C-alpha cells in the first residue's frame, strides 16, 4: 500500500477563514477548501503546510499555533492510504496571490466562518469536507478521523476519536 502525507492549513483573520477555490478534480465541479497538498520527499509536515500555503495563497505563515485534526483515508481499490494533518494559525504575512505550480488553485479569499462552512459543504469528498465542517462549527473536537474506501468507491467514516 502506498502512503501519502497530506497537509492543510486553517488560516484565520479575525472571524474569517482563508479558502482556495480548487479546479475540478476526478469529475467534480470546482470547490472551495482550505489550502494544502501532498508533502514532498524529505519535507516534514510543518514545512509542507507552510510551502503549500505560500504556493496557493501567497501568504507566509510564521507560526502554526495548533493541530486542528488528523484524518486517515484508506483506499483499498487503489491500494493507497493518506494521513491528512490540518494545522491552524492566525500569524501570517504577505498579500493574497496564487503561485500554485500545479495549477489547481483558481481563486483565494477570506470568508466569514458561516459563509466558509456553506462553501465547504459543497466539497464532493467527505474526507476533506466533514472533519473541516465539524471543526469550524465548534462542535466537540474530534482530533482523529478514519475513513475506509472500499473496492466500489464507497467512503465510510469508521472511527473518530476526541
Superfamily of domain 2-161: Nucleoside Triphosphate Pyrophosphohydrolase (3.90.79.10)
pLDDT (tens digit per residue) in 14-34: 999 999 998 876 566 899 999
Predicted model pTM: 0.90
Taking only the tens place, the pLDDT of each residue in 26-79 is 566 899 999 999 999 999 999 999 999 999 999 999 899 999 999 999 998 889
Domain map (residue ranges) of the chain: 2-161
SS3 content of the chain, % helix, strand, coil (to 5): 20, 45, 35
Identify the bridge partners of residue 66 per DSSP, sorted by sequence position.
88
Query: How far apart are alpha carbons 19 and 78 in whole angstroms?
Result: 29
Amino acid at each position: 500500500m502506498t502512503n501519502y502525507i497530506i497537509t492543510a492549513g486553517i488560516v484565520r483573520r479575525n472571524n474569517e477563514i482563508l479558502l482556495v477555490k480548487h479546479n475540478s478534480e476526478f469529475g467534480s465541479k470546482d470547490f472551495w477548501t482550505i489550502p494544502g497538498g501532498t508533502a514532498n520527499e524529505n519535507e516534514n509536515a510543518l514545512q509542507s503546510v507552510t510551502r503549500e500555503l505560500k504556493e496557493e495563497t501567497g501568504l507566509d505563515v510564521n507560526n502554526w499555533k495548533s493541530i486542528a485534526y488528523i484524518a486517515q483515508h484508506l483506499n483499498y481499490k487503489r491500494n493507497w492510504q493518506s494521513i491528512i494533518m490540518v494545522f491552524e494559525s492566525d500569524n501570517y504575512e504577505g498579500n493574497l496571490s496564487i503561485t500554485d505550480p500545479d495549477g489547481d488553485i483558481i481563486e483565494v479569499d477570506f470568508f466569514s466562518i458561516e459563509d466558509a462552512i456553506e462553501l465547504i459543504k459543497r466539497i464532493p469528498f467527505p474526507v476533506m469536507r466533514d472533519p473541516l465542517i465539524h471543526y469550524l462549527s465548534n462542535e466537540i473536537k474530534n482530533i482523529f478521523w478514519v475513513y475506509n474506501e472500499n473496492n466500489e468507491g464507497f467512503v465510510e467514516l469508521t472511527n473518530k476519536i476526541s
